[in-house]
A = this chain, B = another copy of it.
Amino acid sequence: MERTRIAQLFADAESLGGTTVTVAGWVRSVRDMKNFGFVTVNDGSCFKDLQVVMSRDTLANYDEIAHQVAGAAVICAGEVKLTPDAPQPFELAAATIEVAGASAGDYPLQKKRTTPEFLRTQQHLRPRTNLFRAVFRIRSVAANAIHTFFQDRGFVYVNTPIITTSDCEGAGEMFHVTTLDLANVPKNDDGTVDYTQDFFGKPASLTVSGQLNAENFAMAFGDVYTFGPTFRAENSNTARHAAEFWMIEPEIAFADLEDDMNLAEDMLKFVISYVMEKCPDELNMLNKFVDKGLIERLTHVANSDFARVTYTEAIEILEAAVAKGQKFEFPVSWGIDLQTEHERFLTEQYFKKPTFVTDYPVEIKAFYMRLNDDGKTVAAADCLVPGIGEIVGGSQREERLDVLERRISELGMDPEQYKYYCDLRRFGTCKHAGFGLGFERLVMYLTGVSNIRDVIPHPRTVGNAEF
């Protein structure tokens, strides 16, 4: 069967007018006016629907089609008729319509407006709705934008491992991976688990970040990035946390924190522009029904410089706001970890644009971040965006072997676990930096959707791993 996609019809309507084509898709609605009728069909190739016109005179199975309901799969052949005076630029005058598969009467996506909450129980069908058709195409286009951005700049894509045995410290927030029989876990004489019988011969878990692995490759290829799933077994049931989410983690050699922020800013602007160019229909719908300021905000961000402020300055700004009557749930003082409310105040109220906060206190950041000359702060940079809070977390990495070893020892970490990581500092170390971008938070930002469950095909959260 030679199919024409509806996207192609809209792209080439002028030249296709008068030709006969076959379109296959799913019925959105049927309007039967007794002797003629309209079938609205979407095939998923673009956001727009095709209007199919049928006439009792010419369509042998007119009554069969008139009785179809939303969700039915149909194959329509006929002539493309340009309709310069109608709202849609053309319609398909059906010569034949074949029902590939009818839709049962209990089809859950009925015309009455369905809530995102209800649709989370219909994850296998919700991509057929306008909201999710828009969100999941934007997700796909944004993913491609990210690959395009990095590949065009010569970055090497690295698939860092999902299963890891080397970072089982924060085990409270990690998922165990095992082939042991959970009903009958083998034990050593002292009652501990006998991991020699497990698949990898030792405890294993799901990765929380590919960064340390990516550094291995940055020290060979210079510029690399990861883009893959990461996991947190956090027992937090919020609109912004999922147990499984995708991260992008670039890592660049011979680069400092300034280079790192420039890269993150360039990347975010590139992705926004790319999605705005490729998905105008999706963004228009989201702008109309989900987030009225969406397109204006994205346009603004793509065209203006991000703010940059040190953590110390940020604390001063927050303290000044509190003095003027701003209320926060969590108190503000130098040394605190910024809470989402603080982040959102800075980016939404104060700077009114994406904001890098840099040079955080050493105590609240990871061991691998480069110690600044003040001995109190590290060369970290988080990027905050309106509506979301932190979207990018980055840093210059500690490239000095002695400082790194001292940090590992101060924090009571096992040096043996970080032998390879330290090796990179023994064999040709150099300044380098990188960041992590939470892909789902980016998609939320791009779509205006406020719950992470609605930007993941089949989300995994505490107590939920259906479908």
Q: Which residues of B contact A235 (CB under 8 A)?
A: 199
User: Within 8 Å of chain B (Cβ to Cβ): is A136?
Assistant: yes
When chains A and B are docked, how far (Å) is the Cα of A439 from the Cα of B158? 13
Tell me if B73 and A244 are in contact (CB < 8 A).
Answer: no
Tell me if B183 and A179 are in contact (CB < 8 A).
Answer: no
User: Within 8 Å of chain B (Cβ to Cβ): is A37?
Assistant: no
Q: Which of B45, B156, B182 contacts A222 (CB 8 A)?
A: B45
Interface string of A417-445 (1 = CB under 8 A from B): 00011011111111100000000000000
Q: Which residues of B contact A464 (CB under 8 A)?
A: 200
A75 to chain B, nearest CB (A): 7
Known: A147-B144, A229-B228, A254-B24. A204 touches B465 (CB 8 A): yes
Tell me if B136 and A156 are in contact (CB < 8 A).
Answer: yes
Range of interface residues on chain A? 35 or more
A317 to chain B, nearest CB (A): 31
Interface string of A321-336 (1 = CB under 8 A from B): 0000000000000000
Interface residues of A in 104-140 (CB under 8 A from B): 104, 107, 123-125, 127-128, 132-133, 136-137, 139-140
When chains A and B are docked, how far (Å) is the Cα of A141 from the Cα of B155? 10
User: Within 8 Å of chain B (Cβ to Cβ): is A366?
Assistant: no
Closest to A157 in B: B140
Tell me if B128 and A430 are in contact (CB < 8 A).
Answer: no
When chains A and B are docked, how far (Å) is the Cα of A460 from the Cα of B202? 13
User: Within 8 Å of chain B (Cβ to Cβ): is A164?
Assistant: yes
Stretch at the interface among A50-58, A84-92, A170-178: A170-178
Tell me if A7 and B136 are in contact (CB < 8 A).
Answer: no
Q: Which of B101, B217, B219 contacts A430 (CB 8 A)?
A: B101
Tell me if A162 and B229 are in contact (CB < 8 A).
Answer: yes
A261 to chain B, nearest CB (A): 15
Q: Which of B3, B136, B180, B231 contacts A217 (CB 8 A)?
A: B136
Interface residues of A in 142-182 (CB under 8 A from B): 143-144, 147, 151, 154, 156-166, 175-180, 182
When chains A and B are docked, how far (Å) is the Cα of A179 from the Cα of B177? 9
Question: Taking each of A128, A154, A179, A463, which has the highest tally of chain B beta carbons within 10 Å of its own beta carbon?
Answer: A179
User: Within 8 Å of chain B (Cβ to Cβ): is A27?
Assistant: yes
Q: Which residues of B contact A27 (CB under 8 A)?
A: 428
